[in-house]
Amino acid sequence: MASQPDPETGGAASPSNSLGIVVERNPPESRLLELGVRSWPKWGCPPGSFPLKFEAEETCYLLRGKVKAFTKGSSDFVEFGAGDLVVIPKGLSCTWEVSVAVDKHYKFDSSDR
């Protein structure tokens, strides 16, 4: 039986939610260097509620902040924050409830069109 790597230790994560968001908690610096995260553009937002639609897959690394993402009419949500590497699937519509201002590096993968 295959076991799932522990995301708490920087292992790969898989979606465990209906939103399809993958959260890799506290990945090692070597993983961030491999992905080139520090060269990605930056984006930030203050605390608040933000409805979002992802037209392409987004990978982001949160430098600071705390987010709860959920879809309208669903009680399912995903929480992520500072130090997390997050992959958001193409086509997802969700609302970000930001409780701590977000500062993140991000990139979009449009190759899956």
In sequence order, the 6+-apart residues with CB closer than 8 A to the CB of 99 are 47, 66, 67, 68
Q: How many CB atoms lie within 10 A of CB 6?
A: 11
Mark out the alpha helices in the chain (DSSP H runs): 29-35
Identify the pLDDT of residue 13: 56
Q: How far apart are CA 81 and CA 61, in angstroms?
A: 9
pLDDT of 73 reads 78
CATH class of 22-108: mainly beta
- pLDDT in the model for residue 17: 76
Cα 19 to Cα 76: distance, rounded to the nearest angstrom: 8
Q: Are 48 and 86 in contact (CB under 8 A)?
A: no
Mean pLDDT split into 10-residue runs, the chain, 113 residues: 39 66 96 97 97 96 97 88 97 96 94 54
